[in-house]
Chains A and B, each alone.
Chain A
């Protein structure tokens, strides 16, 4: 079965700093990868996804992620974070037919 590792459990940044959150999945082949975000008090929502094609995927709110097959990685990036990006971020891989396997999440705190 697939598993997902997120290396940073807590990240604290100042506004305008650059962000990179690590995500690795356990085995290769064809993979569908996702980043979900949970803002304080809100439900999980999709940030971006990779199915095929261009390995650099752009999502909402200026986020992007790069799929590197050789490294089994799908890291999330944002050039300049804002206070409103404070949230918990989850990387996920699809297993089987639409079942998502999630990582443990990274809590991001952006200080103004």
Chain B
């Protein structure tokens, strides 16, 4: 499968614990995005990388959230001291900067449940 892959698909954790999600984009894509989706809402932009550079962060991304893309390939999203309000689906997407088609290719998401 050559699409965007995310791991884990599901994570249940207790409030206060730290969690980390991983995203592997389509290999030739240099842009990588993280979105969050809660029930009844559309995906909300969290952050965006071009290669290893984090170019934009949403105000939704509090200081408990950190994202990295150290070698310009896979990315991780870490949430520290999780809260119940962090329960959501975390979506990763990638795109090719050279084509500029505007099409984002999404993974199947990582669902977080904070108890």
Contacts and interface: CB of A to CB of B under 8 A. Distances in A.
Given A102-B43, A104-B41, A105-B42, A46 B103 contact: yes
A34 B42 CA distance: 13
Interface size class of B (residues with CB under 8 A): 20 to 34
Interface stretch (B17-25, B65-73, B80-88, B104-112): B104-112
Contact of B56 (A45, A96, A102, A105): A96
Interface string B72-115: 00000000000000000001010101001111101111000000
Contacts of B106: 36, 43-45
A32 B102 contact: yes
B102 A44 contact: no
Contacts of B102: 32, 34, 49, 51, 94, 98, 100
A55 to B, nearest CB: 17
A45 to B, nearest CB: 7
Contacts of A96: 56
Question: Most A CB atoms within 10 A — which of B33, B42, B106, B108?
Answer: B42
A42 B102 CA distance: 20
Contacts of B97: 98
Interface of A: 4, 6, 9, 32, 34, 36, 42-46, 49, 51, 90, 92, 94, 96, 98-105
Interface of B: 3-4, 31, 33, 40-45, 48, 56, 91, 93, 95, 97, 100-104, 106-109
